[in-house]
Amino acid sequence: MDKIIVRGGNPLKGQIPISGAKNSALTLLPCALLTDEPLTLRNLPRLADIDGFQHLMNQFGVSTSIAGARPEDFGRVMTLQATRMTSNVAPYDLVRKMRASILVLGPLLARMGEAKVSLPGGCAIGNRPIDLHLKAIEALGAEIEMGGGYVKATAPKGGLPGGSFTFPVVSVGATENVLMAAVLAKGTSTLHNAAREPEIVDLCNLLVAMGAEIEGIGTSDLTIHGKDRLHGATYRVMSDRIEAGSYACAAAMTGGDVELLGAKANEMEATIAALRASGVLVEETKGGIRVAHNGPLKAITLTTAPYPGFATDMQAQFMAMLCMAEGSSVLTETIFENRFMHVPELNRMGANVETKGRTAIVHGVKGLTGAPVMATDLRASMSLVMAGLVAKGETEVSRLYHLDRGYERLEEKLQLVGADIERVGAD
């Protein structure tokens, strides 16, 4: 297994290109199941999860081709075409490593009238049930059966009639899944208390580009008028607001000055507000967002929440940054119960973080010391790399398969701005 070696002490300075959003791309790819015409997605990040989803789409008989795949390029262009579907089953072997695989349930059901999907896997950051996915799809008229580790959804003869559903709690994945099912329903569907993350807006915009009719985009109340068919489209994946926020925190904690090319300030307002509260300079540029160290970092209090609140996907990175702040910060995690698994690893490097249930108290320290550490999930792995950037000596981060699921060519991007970082093969 590969490892990343980081030698700390270098401020990050320069420009970092921000890749297409992983969390959006994994939602846009299954839209190819909704039409027999080509769907071309631009700005797809080169990630293990994208490759895994491509293999899953091939399982259904979807043809995929990649254009302009030069090794030195960030991002790819992929064309998918589901002219003739050969399967409606998402098997365990392809689904178990990636939770986003459940997102094929809605479009498969809408297109083929039946879908059988293995229960998904993903990061071990807490309980992530799919009950809301199933209840919302049931509300559109589907019949749901569970058994043998699979979910089977069946539409009535003639297709899904459509319906109305109110989410008892906000769920990004369930909103995405039922949206893709509803666009081919026979009638009108309404969703209340729907998630409104920028990635949901990106999905809606693609579906509209394919001929769907959706009202209320960007709000928590969506009305979807079902269509008999959708057509192909060419669409650019939005930039990754979580990747941009991660590099922003890294620049701030190393005393750096970085321009995040392609980042969109309007998509990461809560992250920017938290950075500014910490004493970091953040300003928009023609090319994206500039983030610069602006004096000592300040302790803050943060609570994760659904969009437009502070994203749970940014909690670990802020924790790493706040290890270098003056005073004690308080981070409360309301989304996933096991999202503090990186705390023991940070403390091995000299951090002073206490956890009490879903709250972490981060006492700022004078400095960190390099150590061998192990990634426990995707965002935790990034927090450990960030800690290594400021630590005295050498930090060795192992279990990189987490990192490779969500950060495109991380070490290359950090090298661009002066980090002493490299990937090495295990002994």
At 122 the pLDDT is 42
Homologous superfamily, domain 22-236: Enolpyruvate transferase domain (3.65.10.10)
Take residue 23 and report the two structure tokens written for it.
Answer: 């969390």
CB 145 within 8 A of CB 186: no
The closest alpha carbon to 393, from 374, 418, 367, belongs to: 367
Strands (E), 155-228: 164-166, 188-192, 213-215, 221-225
Tens-place pLDDT, residues 204-220: 999 999 999 999 999 99
At 98 the pLDDT is 78
Q: How confident is the model at residue 70 (pLDDT cuts 50, 70, 90)?
A: low
Catalytic member of 123, 204, 249, 323: 123
Which residues are known binding-site members for UDP-N-acetyl-alpha-D-glucosamine?
Answer: 99, 128-132, 313, 335
Kind of pairing between the strands at 150-154 and 143-147: antiparallel
Tens-place pLDDT, residues 252-275: 999 999 999 999 999 999 999 999
For the chain, domain boundaries = 3-18+239-424, 22-236
At 14 the pLDDT is 98
What's the rounded mean pLDDT across residues 363-367? 97
Has domain 3-18+239-424 been given CATH number 3.65.10.10? yes
Strands (E), 309-371: 328-332, 352-356, 359-363
Question: What sign does the dihedral 42-48-51-56 (CA atoms) show?
Answer: negative
Q: How confident is the model at residue 96 (pLDDT cuts 50, 70, 90)?
A: confident
Torsion of CA 381, 303, 204, 218, to 10 degrees: -150
Cis peptide before 308 (omega within 30 of 0): yes
Which residues are known binding-site members for phosphoenolpyruvate?
Answer: 22-23
What's the rounded mean pLDDT across residues 90-97? 84
Amino acid at 364: G
Please state the pTM of the whole predicted model. 0.94
At 93 the pLDDT is 86
**Does the annotation count 31 as an active-site position?**
no
At 123 the pLDDT is 37
What's the rounded mean pLDDT across residues 332-346? 85
Amino acid at 50: I
First-last CA distance in the chain: 9
Lowest mean pLDDT among 41-50, 70-79, 171-180, 307-316: 70-79
Tens-place pLDDT, residues 120-164: 754 343 344 788 999 999 999 999 998 888 999 999 999 999 999
Q: How confident is the model at residue 427 (pLDDT cuts 50, 70, 90)?
A: low
At 69 the pLDDT is 59
Kind of pairing between the strands at 233-236 and 39-44: parallel
Q: What CA–CA distance (Å, rounded) separates 135 from 24?
A: 23
